[in-house]
Structure 1
Amino acid sequence: MHKQQQTGGVVLPIIIVVVAVVLFAMFVPTGGRAPSPDQQQEVAERIQPIGLVEVKAAASNGPARTGEEKVYKAQCAACHAAGALGAPKFGDAGAWGPRVKTGFEALLNSALKGKNSMPAQSGGAASDYEIARAVVYMANQGGAKFDEPKAPAAAASAAQ
């Protein structure tokens, strides 16, 4: 019994001292200065997010907002400029010839729904009308003589 009383008598003061030190550390100011603007800038740079999420409205099928060349450069050139993954190279009449013979509608269908290694372009940043204009642009550079597609009627796009 004697040992238990001594242990209890030593533990309680230690706990009190530890709690007092913790409370003292929490409530006593550190005496340091406020960080300088340079330090604040460095901290802001270190904790900035790695990426951002940008939410855009879905593309409408209304009249073109961008030129067909811009759509080509944004969505098609990655493969068609170099002829990557079996894509017909931009301006290569020999590669485009067999595809042009299938007609504009077949080419547009392939572009919108995807074919082989080419992903579907429909539903992306460009409207289906803009994709159609880009298809005409690419095919005509490869020897086709397709007419510019007609812009969808305002009433038809409003109904969708």
Structure 2
Amino acid sequence: MSDNHQDHAHEAHTGPIKSGSQLLWSSIAAFVIPVFIIIGLVYYVTSGNKTAAGSTDSERAVAERIMKVGTVEIRDANRPLRAGEEVFKGQCAACHATGAAGAPKVGDADAWGPRLKQGFDTLVQSALKGKGAMGAQGGGDFNDTEIARAVAYMANQSGGKFEEPKAPAAEAAK
């Protein structure tokens, strides 16, 4: 019985590695497996094409944080002013040709009548600063004189008798 007890006690103190070959392979595996795991993690972190959830949201958030606050635009002050009809087609026709958002249609004398009675300057100020559902038109692709020309064009097509504004330099020369 004591022999059996000694064999059992001796066996309890040995590890899972029974031979030199097992020791060699365990040592190699203990070194190689962590190296491959580290290489895989480094590759994942440095790769640009991650498909992790929310990556597009974080990219969008970064783009919004570094977005320009404002822009400076230098315009050619010497370019010829555009005619009222051209400005109307480029800026105003989307609403005033169709009557969208309650805009008076060009050519509808009944809708334009009360507006024409307010005077040309009031109509121009409403266009530049906005009124009702119409946003301010000043400061966009067209200067204030060109917007005034479009107002004159629309009003004249709808029963008004306004003169199209001249270029500011031409008025100063007179």
**Does the C-alpha gap of structure 1 residues 18 and 101 become closer, same or farther in structure 2, counting only changes over 3 Å?**
same
Aligned CA-pair RMSD: 3.6
TM-score by length of 2: 0.58
Task: State the one-letter code of the partner of 1:138.
Answer: M
**Does the C-alpha gap of structure 1 residues 147 and 65 become closer, same or farther in structure 2, counting only changes over 3 Å?**
closer
**Does the C-alpha gap of structure 1 residues 91 and 60 become closer, same or farther in structure 2, counting only changes over 3 Å?**
farther
Q: Which residue pairs with 2:163 in the alignment?
A: 147
Q: Does 1:101 align with 2:101?
A: no
Deviation at 1:66, TM superposition (A): 2.6
Deviation at 1:91, TM superposition (A): 1.0
Deviation at 1:73, TM superposition (A): 1.5
Deviation at 1:4, TM superposition (A): 7.6
Gaps of 5+ in 2: 1-12, 44-70
Q: Does 1:16 align with 2:36?
A: no
User: For residues 150 and 81 of structure 1, what CA distance do their matches in structure 2 show?
Assistant: 25
Identical counterparts, % of pairs: 51
Q: Which residue pairs with 1:75 in the alignment?
A: 91
Deviation at 1:93, TM superposition (A): 1.0
Q: Which residue pairs with 1:3 in the alignment?
A: 15
Gaps of 5+ in 1: 27-54
The answer to whether the Cα contact below 8 Å between 1:60 and 1:127 also exists between their aligned partners in 2 is no
Deviation at 1:153, TM superposition (A): 2.0
Higher relative contact order (CA 8 A, sep 6+): 1
Q: Which residue pairs with 2:108 in the alignment?
A: 92
Runs (4+) of structure 1 exceeding 4 A deviation are 4-11, 17-20, 58-64
The answer to whether the Cα contact below 8 Å between 2:129 and 2:138 also exists between their aligned partners in 1 is yes
Q: Which residue pairs with 2:146 in the alignment?
A: 130
* Secondary structure at the counterpart of residue 153 of structure 1: helix
Moved more, 98-107 or 145-154: 145-154
Task: State the one-letter code of the partner of 2:106.
Answer: F
User: For residues 162 and 110 of structure 2, what CA distance do their matches in structure 1 show?
Assistant: 17
The answer to whether the Cα contact below 8 Å between 1:61 and 1:129 also exists between their aligned partners in 2 is no
